[in-house]
Structures are given as structure tokens and as C-alpha cells.
């Protein structure tokens, strides 16, 4: 009797293992195009970049570039300010767009427009608006009795313009994410809060914020990774001017690689930023888990 039972168990395990193996192989077959693409287009270039980055002789050349340190600072300022201000505003605005009022829905539609506008014409339009002589921003300032400001001619205002554009462009997307996050918070929690007599601020502090905490952090990290690699805004808006004072690592790496033909220096620039990027990704993965 026992023997029969033992054979039955063994047979069941064998069938289960067989089925699992079959499923795994089939799964791998169906995933193979994606795996192949991932290996070819993601893993191989990264490994090759790391291999090139092992050449120590490239770093003295990159670090001796007089604009490298300032460029690193610019990147920190650009990413730090753009991401944090944008995320904070997105969190605040998501409260407005979470309301059920009809006007809010119309407003939300309009609010999404910057996200839908292609980056290039958007940045060029910004540049024209900020033109020192005939831009609309200075025209408004002049009409109000203020002097013109050469926005793109000074490093702080030029970087500020790039940060402002970034926030304008990507704020709607992250606001939308937070709106979705807010809507997933159970209404019962707010109802319980009402019964306990909590104020709006207390609801935000004790219900909304803790419930959105993880989402907020994950979004911030994702946005930091995206913004760190953002090349287009600075390239088109300032092109590093005035006097190479507004470059970020992405535009500097582009200059090294595609204008000077120094792919090794371009790699060196990215490898310099890699520990920070990897740290963000590592924290991100930990949080997602």
C-alpha cells in the first residue's frame, strides 16, 4: 500500500517537473527575441562601455577639461532642482485634479498639452520667448515698467530657463501619475478621518502622504534617471552658452563623442556619472520590491 503510494507521489512529481520544464522552455522560446534584443542592444553596449571605461588614460584628459567640474555641478543643479520642484508641484497639483468638478476635467485636458507638444518646437518657442531684445517675456516686463533681462546670456538665468522648461514639459505626466495614486487610496480612510474630525491638512499629513510615499520616491528616482540623460533641452536651449557655462554631462559627452570624435572621452564622462545612476537604479529596485 505504502509502496503504491510512493510510486504515485514519484509519478506526480515527475509529471509536475515535466510540465514545468516544458512550460519553461516554451516560455524561454517565446521570450527569446526580447532576450536577444536586450542582450544585443542593452547588455552588450553597457559591457563595451565599461570595458572602454577601464582605460585609465581617458580620465586625466576629461578631468583636465576646464569646464568638466562646472558641468558636473550644472548636472547636479539641473537634476536636483528640476526633479524636486517638478515632483513637489505635481504632488500639489494632483490634489486639484483629483477633485470631481467638471471644470477640473477640462483644466486637466489643457494642462496635459505641454506633455503632448514635441520637445524641439517647444524648446525653440521657449528660446524665442526669452529672447533679450524681442522676446515676449521681456516685452511683458517692459510693459509693466521693468527692464529687459538677457535670460539666456547669464548662467543662472540660462540654467533656470532650461529647468523651467523641463518642469513645464514634464509636470503634467507626473501629476497624472499622482492623480492615479491618489485615486487608489481607499475612500474609507478619509471617511474615518472625517468621523475623527481631522482637518484637510491632517488628512494630507496622516493619510495621503504616507499612502503616496513610496510612489513619490519611486517617481522621483525614475525622473532623476530620465533627467540625468536629458540631452535635448540644454543642447537646444543654450547649447552650453554663454561660454560653455551651462553644459550638462550629457551635452558634454555628445561634444566629445560626436563633435571631437573622442568616443573614449564620451564614455569617460558617462562612466563618471554611472555610479550615481546605478545608485538611483539600485534604490529604485529595492523600493519596487
Partner 1 sequence: MKRRGVLTWRAPWIAALCLGLALIGPGLAGVAGAGEKPKLVVWWNKGYYKEEDEGMQKVAEAFARENNVDVELTFTIQDDLGPKIISALIARRVPDVAFCFFTDWQISPKFAWEGKLTDVSDVINELKPRYIESHLKTGWLFNKAENKWSYYSVPIEAQALGTHYWKDLVQEAGLNPDPKKIPMTWKEHWAFWKKVQDNLRKKDPTKYGKLYGIGMTESSRATDTFYNFEQYLLAFHGEVLSPDGKVVAGEAKNREAIVKTLAFFTSIYKEGYVPPDALTWTDADNNVNFGNKTVVMTPNPSISIPAAAFFTNKDVYYNKIGSVLQPASPVDGKGYPYLVSVKPIIIPKDAKEPALAKKFIRYVLETKHFTEYVKASNGRWFPSFKDVAADPFFHDKKDPHVPVATDQHLNYPTRPFYYSYHPAYSQVYTENVWGKAISRVVTEKWSNEQAVDEAVTRIQTIFNAWK
Residues at the interface with partner 1 (CB under 8 A): 22, 25-26, 29, 32, 36, 61, 64, 66, 131-134, 150, 152-155, 158, 238-245, 255, 257-261, 263
In whole angstroms, the minimum distance from the beta carbon of 203 to partner 1 comes to 47
The three three-digit cell numbers of residue 136, written as one number: 515676449
The three three-digit cell numbers of residue 52, written as one number: 572602454
Closer residue to partner 1 (CB): 152 or 273: 152
In whole angstroms, the minimum distance from the beta carbon of 114 to partner 1 comes to 23
The three three-digit cell numbers of residue 119, written as one number: 520637445
Cα gap 76→82, rounded to integer Å: 10
In whole angstroms, the minimum distance from the beta carbon of 37 to partner 1 comes to 12
Q: How far, in whole angstroms, is CA 65 from its chain's centroid?
A: 28
Q: Is the Cβ–Cβ distance between 181 and 269 less than 8 Å?
A: no
Cα gap 141→146, rounded to integer Å: 5
In whole angstroms, the minimum distance from the beta carbon of 254 to partner 1 comes to 8
Task: Using alpha carbons, select from 205, 217, 228, 237 the residue that is nearest to residue 79.
Answer: 228
In whole angstroms, the minimum distance from the beta carbon of 226 to partner 1 comes to 22
Residue 185 CB coordination number (10 Å) = 15
Q: Is the Cβ–Cβ distance between 288 and 218 less than 8 Å?
A: yes
Closer residue to partner 1 (CB): 49 or 218: 49
Closer residue to partner 1 (CB): 132 or 210: 132
Q: Is the Cβ–Cβ distance between 87 and 174 less than 8 Å?
A: yes
Closer residue to partner 1 (CB): 108 or 236: 236
Closer residue to partner 1 (CB): 32 or 205: 32
Closer residue to partner 1 (CB): 81 or 152: 152
In whole angstroms, the minimum distance from the beta carbon of 74 to partner 1 comes to 14
Closer residue to partner 1 (CB): 151 or 216: 151
Angstrom distances, CA of residue 226 to CA of 60, 113, 285: 28, 20, 15
Q: Is the Cβ–Cβ distance between 175 and 90 less than 8 Å?
A: yes
Q: How far, in whole angstroms, is CA 102 from its chain's centroid?
A: 31
In whole angstroms, the minimum distance from the beta carbon of 67 to partner 1 comes to 8
In whole angstroms, the minimum distance from the beta carbon of 23 to partner 1 comes to 8
Q: Is the Cβ–Cβ distance between 249 and 272 less than 8 Å?
A: yes
Task: Using alpha carbons, select from 220, 235, 130, 145 the residue that is nearest to residue 177.
Answer: 220
Closer residue to partner 1 (CB): 42 or 260: 260
Amino acid at each position: 500500500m505504502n509502496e503504491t503510494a510512493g510510486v504515485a507521489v514519484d509519478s506526480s512529481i515527475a509529471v509536475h517537473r515535466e510540465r514545468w520544464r516544458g512550460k519553461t522552455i516554451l516560455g524561454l522560446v517565446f521570450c527569446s527575441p526580447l532576450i536577444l534584443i536586450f542582450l544585443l542592444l542593452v547588455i552588450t553596449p553597457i559591457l563595451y562601455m565599461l570595458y572602454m571605461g577601464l582605460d585609465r588614460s581617458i580620465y586625466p584628459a576629461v578631468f583636465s577639461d576646464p569646464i568638466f567640474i562646472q558641468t558636473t555641478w550644472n548636472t547636479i543643479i539641473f537634476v536636483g532642482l528640476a526633479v524636486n520642484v517638478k515632483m513637489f508641484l505635481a504632488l500639489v497639483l494632483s490634489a486639484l485634479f483629483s477633485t470631481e468638478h467638471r471644470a477640473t476635467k477640462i483644466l486637466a485636458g489643457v494642462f496635459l498639452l505641454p506633455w503632448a507638444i514635441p520637445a524641439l518646437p517647444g524648446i525653440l518657442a521657449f528660446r524665442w520667448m526669452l529672447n533679450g531684445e524681442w522676446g515676449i517675456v521681456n516685452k511683458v516686463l517692459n510693459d509693466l515698467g521693468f527692464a529687459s533681462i538677457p535670460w539666456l546670456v547669464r548662467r543662472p538665468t540660462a540654467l533656470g530657463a532650461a529647468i523651467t522648461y523641463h518642469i513645464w514639459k514634464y509636470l503634467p505626466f507626473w501629476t497624472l501619475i499622482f492623480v492615479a495614486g491618489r485615486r487608489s487610496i481607499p475612500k474609507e480612510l478619509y471617511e474615518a478621518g472625517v468621523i475623527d474630525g481631522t482637518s484637510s491638512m491632517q488628512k494630507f499629513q496622516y493619510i495621503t502622504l504616507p499612502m503616496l510615499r513610496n510612489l513619490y520616491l519611486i517617481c522621483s528616482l525614475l525622473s532623476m534617471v530620465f533627467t540625468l540623460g536629458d540631452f535635448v533641452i540644454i543642447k537646444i536651449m543654450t547649447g552650453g552658452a554663454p561660454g560653455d557655462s551651462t553644459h550638462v554631462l550629457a551635452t558634454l559627452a555628445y561634444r566629445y563623442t560626436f563633435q571631437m570624435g573622442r568616443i573614449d572621452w564620451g564614455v569617460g564622462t558617462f562612466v563618471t556619472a554611472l555610479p550615481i545612476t546605478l545608485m538611483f537604479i539600485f534604490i529604485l529596485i529595492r523600493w519596487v520590491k
